[in-house]
Structure 1
Amino acid sequence: MDRLSIIGTVLAIGALMGGSVLKGAGLAGLWSPAAFVIVVLGTIAAILLQTPMDTFKRALKIMRWVFQPPMQDRTAVIARIVEWSGTARKQGLLGLEAEVQALEDPFLRKGLQMVVDGVEPEAIRQMLEIELHGQSDRDVAAAKVFEGAGIYAPTLGIIGAVLGLMAVMKNLADPSQLGHGIAAAFTATIYGIGMANLALLPMASKLKGLIGHQAQEREMIVEGLIAIAQGENPRNIEARLNGFVH
């Protein structure tokens, strides 16, 4: 679990609720069914109009990365690659065949299988980099779903506020309803700006960072597998790959 994400979420909720209480609006002032419908459902509607189905499904799938990042221990991966290089020098590339079946990471398994099959190093690099960049592009597009939602939410909050003020203007003859009506109108603005700046945009930024980190890990794997295919010395491979750790 990502502790910073959990702490940030708790602080965001606490800041919003605490600020409402300290300002005298109370917790009840933060609840407005009309604002929820306009801002939350409106934002979802805008995203559905903007996003292809596959990208939307991917966005829902990687959303959990904010709290459970899919990170590997790079040092452990390097140690495994160095071990493979030693095995390849002693037993040949076919000595790694048993290792392929034990791998859970599809990218790593595919790359090592190509090494065992004796595919040319340059061909291995090309195929793995195509897959690497393709997956990164798909994941970035999914992260941009939350970025787009963070752009739409404040605008829909303004729409909700305007609609609320329109309702207030229709009841000017009843002064007792004006204060409550104006407060309810601005609740939509809080929903929109709060969702965007306390949740959606930070999530998008966090996901993009994780995607970039994952791409670097895969670049390290590619370099290691190519070095094994070229028969490089295990110590040289370890020294090269340690640059990705530091």
Structure 2
Amino acid sequence: MNPLVLGGLLAALAGIVLSTLMDGNSLGVLIGPSSFVLVFLGSVGAAVVSFDLADIKRAPGALLRAFKGSAEDNDATITTLVSMAEVARREGLLALEKRVEEIDDPFLAQGLQLLADGVDGDSVHEMLEIDIASLDERHRSMISLFESLGAYAPTFGMMGTVIGLINMLGNLSDPSQLGLGMSLALLTTLYGVLFANLLYLPIASRLKRLNAQELAGRDLALDAMLAIQDGTSPRRLVDRLEAFLPVGQRVGYSARMEGPAPVAEPVATEAA
């Protein structure tokens, strides 16, 4: 699991636990199996109704990516592409075909193969843009799924509270049970808020951020491959691509060519 994700979850849970204990309450007051079942199954069931089967099947992968995924290494991608630009300048675009097998990233491999095959620039741009748009659409469907779960969970929490109140009011013959009944009813609302704001919505936000980073990386790669096809010199290509990086990561042409070029690796995605 990504350390930041784990740390954030632990910090949020610690806040809930510590605040409960500081008020002199037992953690047992936060445990309600029936509330958990209603909120979890209710929100998941509503999501299943709202989305296609293909989207539901991709949800576990999206969940795993949210917890374990990391930002794409654009720095390594730039170094790899500059190395390919050197090959194209010295040996021609056809020589890139021999290097495609060294590339683990399917998007880079596809683009470089198109260059080696002599496909014209407009066609390369169109084909790779379709790939980018398709990836974005798949990712957005997963983001929308978890945002929907975040909207459904509090609603089912309120529904559970209403059910609990109905049951409580139907048993007014025993006043000693009113406090317990009220606490159980409100616990369902708490579960709905927790599921939404501690799990579903943070997952959606993280997927949204990872998607934006991956799209930026692919835009960078597309720009670089079109520049290679146009015959842009490797030195100028470095200056062009490093504009995508923070200032502290801009090392220049000489530094990137000092050692062997790192091979850009694919970023695992839930829908790719």
Matched residue, 1:226: 226
- The 2-side partners of 1:7 and 1:199 are apart by 14
- The 1-side partners of 2:161 and 2:77 are apart by 53
Range with greater deviation from structure 2 (19-28 or 202-211) = 19-28
Higher share in helix: 1
Contact 1:59/1:143 (CA < 8 Å) preserved in 2?
A: no
- The 2-side partners of 1:60 and 1:200 are apart by 13
Q: Could you report, residue by residue, the CA deviation over 1:66-111 in whole angstroms, capped at 9, with x for unpaired residues?
A: 2322433211111111111111111111211121112221111111
- The 2-side partners of 1:188 and 1:224 are apart by 53
Q: How does 1:1-246 map to 2 (within 5 A)?
A: 1-246=1-246
- The 1-side partners of 2:24 and 2:173 are apart by 26
**TM-score, normalised by the number of residues in structure 2:** 0.87
How many residue pairs match? The answer is: 246
Q: Which amino acid aligns with 1:81?
A: L
* TM-fit CA distance, 1:48: 0.4
Unaligned runs of 5+ residues in structure 2 are 247-272
Q: Which amino acid aligns with 1:77?
A: T
- The 2-side partners of 1:38 and 1:107 are apart by 43
Q: Which amino acid aligns with 1:213?
A: Q
Q: Which amino acid aligns with 1:232?
A: T
Relative to structure 1, the CA distance from residue 224 to residue 126 in structure 2 (aligned partners, 3 Å threshold; closer, same or farther) is: same
* TM-fit CA distance, 1:52: 0.8
Q: Which amino acid aligns with 1:90?
A: R
Q: Which amino acid aligns with 2:133?
A: H
Range with greater deviation from structure 2 (114-123 or 100-109) = 100-109
Unaligned runs of 5+ residues in structure 1 are none
* TM-fit CA distance, 1:2: 2.9
The DSSP-based 3-state class of the residue aligned with 1:67 is helix
- The 2-side partners of 1:212 and 1:181 are apart by 46
* TM-fit CA distance, 1:18: 2.3
Q: Which amino acid aligns with 1:169?
A: L
**TM-score, normalised by the number of residues in structure 1:** 0.96
Displacement over 6 Å in runs of 4+: none
* TM-fit CA distance, 1:171: 1.3
CA RMSD of aligned residues (A): 1.3
Contact 2:111/2:225 (CA < 8 Å) preserved in 1?
A: yes
- The 2-side partners of 1:71 and 1:108 are apart by 17
* TM-fit CA distance, 1:114: 0.3
Provide the identity percentage.
36
Q: Could you report, residue by residue, the CA deviation over 1:203-232 in whole angstroms, capped at 9, with x for unpaired residues?
A: 111110110110000000001111111111
Contact 2:72/2:213 (CA < 8 Å) preserved in 1?
A: no
Matched residue, 2:254: none
